[in-house]
Amino acid sequence: MGRSVRRSTALALLVGLTALGFAVAAPAQESEGLDLTYDGFFKLDLAYDSALSSHGNFIMYVKPHASGDATATTNLTARQTRLGLRVAGGGSDNFVASGRVEVDFYGGGAENKNLLMLRHAYAELNWQDRDLVLLGGQTSDVISPLVPTTLNYTVAWWVGNIGYRHPQIRVTKGFDVGLDSKLTLAAAAVRTVADDLSPAEPGDAGSHAGMPAIQGRVG
């Protein structure tokens, strides 16, 4: 009880080489009527922690330690560099087809041999005259689609944000309710994943669930 608790003074000097953002539109493929747009950014993160923290490059909590045993660490990583591709066009007279794929380098591996991590990979069919969208693939959850702005790589998981990205089949329907307002209903069947931070172990109930999770939102 008398043990003092030290706080980590994580100096998040997210180096401003930080978001060297770029967006390049490739010429449309006339034969298929597709418009390809590349996007992403290069990013280097530097952080100094006065005490050991979880996950090294990003912090969820400070590890417990005996008084006087704290070890300062300096973390330097380019893992959050992000690459993306958007595809628009195709479809028919009734709907518009589009798609997106996006990766970063938080898929594991040694610090100088980072592995790709799939963030988004989905296709959409949009019936604009009906305000109806069908999505299939991996993207942000229906229940928590907004990503809070933080210096940390995490999106506030440890302080209440339960959303992430999962494989899913989603339907979104909008209704005009007047006064420049719209009611939007979204529902999705989502792959149940036991642990988003590490590969699922054999026997994890979530990864072997007989039924997908069902998510819904009214906006």
162: left (phi over 0), alpha (psi -120 to 50) or beta: alpha
74-91: per-residue pLDDT in tens? 999 999 999 999 999 877
- What pLDDT score was predicted for residue 201? 54
Rg (CA), the chain: 21
Q: How far apart are CA 31 and CA 45, in angstroms?
A: 42
The two tokens of residue 146 are 């907004």
Say which residue the tokens 């036991």 belong to.
Answer: 194
Question: In Å, how far from its chain's centre is CA 175?
Answer: 28
Q: pLDDT at position 130, please?
A: 95
pLDDT for the residue numbered 16: 29
How far is Cα 212 from Cα 193, in angstroms, rounded to an integer?
10
Which residues of the chain, if any, have pLDDT below 70?
A: 1-32, 66-70, 194-208
**pLDDT, position 206:** 55
Specify the DSSP element, H or E, that contains 177: strand 165-178
Res 207: pLDDT = 62
pLDDT reported for residue 83:
98
Structure tokens at 151: 């210096």
Task: At 130, give phi and psi (nearest 5°).
Answer: -105, -5
